[in-house]
């Protein structure tokens, strides 16, 4: 996220305690943002809970074999690593950096501006 300062927030002291669903996705909220965390091949990824196409909820989607989150509404695919719309429709999924620290899993959110933007 070049050019933007991040503020780090603790998501969970133990990532295993996030509300994981069978699809490997957990819904969380941090600083008022609805976020999904996905677990894929022993790594964690965070991204907006809502699809940029037409509002599908990724908590009802699934992770494919290539590491994409698939939206349940129209099946557009987004790379977990960077939010790239790998099915080619030209959208971009907002992703957030995560850090696993000794005291828990942290998420980096853009620092709020003067008016909370
Ligand atoms: S709302 Fe997600 S692909 Fe259409």
Confidence of residue 1 (pLDDT cuts 50, 70, 90): very low
Average pLDDT, the chain: 94
pLDDT at 114 over 80: no
Q: To test the ligand 1 pocket, which listed residue (48, 59, 61, 73) has its Cβ within 8 A of the most ligand atoms?
A: 73
pLDDT score recorded for residue 95: 98
Task: List all residues 6 or more positions away from 52 whose beta carbon is below 8 Å from its beta carbon.
Answer: 91, 92, 93, 94
The domain defined by 6-105 folds into: Rieske Iron-sulfur Protein (2.102.10)
pLDDT score recorded for residue 116: 53
Q: Around Cβ 56, how many Cβ atoms within 10 Å? A: 19
Distance of CA 108 to CAs 18, 47, 50, 82, Å? 17, 11, 18, 14
Q: How far apart are CA 85 and CA 78, in angstroms?
A: 4
The verdict on pTM exceeding 0.85 is yes
Closest-lying ligand 1 atom to the alpha carbon of residue 55? 1
Contact 23, 63 (CB under 8 A): yes
> Ligand 1 centre and the CA of 110: distance in Å?
25
Q: In this structure, which residue's CA is closest to atom 4 in ligand 1?
A: 74
pLDDT tens digit sequence for 33-81 = 999 999 999 999 999 999 999 999 999 999 999 999 999 999 999 999 9
Joined tokens for residue 51: 């699809």
Q: To test the ligand 1 pocket, which listed residue (50, 56, 68) has its Cβ within 8 A of the most ligand atoms?
A: 56
Would you kindly state where each structural domain of the chain is located, as residue ranges? 6-105
């Amino acid at each position: 996220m070049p050019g933007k300062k991040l503020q780090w927030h603790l998501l969970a002291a133990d990532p295993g305690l996030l509300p994981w669903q069978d699809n490997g996705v957990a819904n969380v909220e941090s600083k008022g943002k609805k976020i999904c965390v996905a677990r894929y091949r022993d790594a964690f990824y965070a991204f907006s809970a809502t699809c940029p196409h037409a509002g599908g909820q990724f908590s009802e989607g699934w992770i494919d074999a290539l590491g994409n989150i698939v939206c349940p509404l129209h099946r557009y695919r987004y790379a977990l690593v960077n939010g790239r719309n790998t099915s080619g429709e030209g959208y971009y999924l907002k992703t957030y950096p995560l850090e696993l620290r000794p005291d828990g899993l942290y998420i980096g959110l853009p620092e709020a501006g003067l008016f909370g933007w």
